[in-house]
Amino acid sequence: MYVANTYLATTAEAMRASYDCERCQGSALADVTVVGQGYAEAPFFIGQKAAAAHAAKAATEALPAALERTLGLAGCPHCGACDPEQVKKAKLDAGLHRAGGNP
Ligand SMILES: [Zn+2]
């Protein structure tokens, strides 16, 4: 039988980032609150401190990708276009979550 302690860490950070639109070449500054999550587990309850630290580190490391995603899905303030790559990733993630049984 496999048992483990699981750790989920969430971190949020307010960031100011440049938004550059590939469609209209417009740019703007955006104030964004970005949320990152990290997950780790300690199998058979071994290394629980390390797993907690790993989850926290992973949450912090997830922030740049979350910023890119948030900006891409927010849309351009000039022409309204969203980043097609971020839209595609979001759709894939939604599909994967549905396939995994989460609504
Ligand atoms: Zn634009």
Per-residue pLDDT reduced to its tens digit, 81-100: 999 999 999 999 888 766 65
Task: Give the Å distance between the CA of 85 and the centre of ligand 1.
Answer: 15
1 Cα–ligand 1 center, Å = 54
- For residue 27, how far is its CA from the centre of ligand 1 (angstroms)? 8
What is the Å distance from ligand 1's center to 75 Cα? 8
Question: What pLDDT sits at residue 64?
Answer: 95
Q: Give the CA distances from residue 3 to residues 37, 46, 62, in Å, rounded to whole numbers and listed in that order.
A: 22, 10, 27
What does the pLDDT read at residue 62? 96
Give the environment of ion ligand 1: residues with CB less than 5 A: 21, 23-24, 26, 76, 78-79, 81
Check residue 99 and give its pLDDT: 66
Q: CA-CA distance, 45 to 11, in Å (whole number)?
A: 24
What separation in Å is there between the alpha carbon of 99 and the centre of ligand 1? 33
The per-residue pLDDT for 44 is 93
11: Cβ–Cβ under 8 A, 6 or more apart, which residues?
Answer: 35, 36, 37, 38, 56, 59, 60, 63
| pTM listed for this prediction | 0.79
- 27-83 residue pLDDT tens: 999 999 999 999 999 999 999 999 999 999 999 999 999 999 999 999 899 999 999
Domain ranges within the chain, ordered by starting residue? 4-99
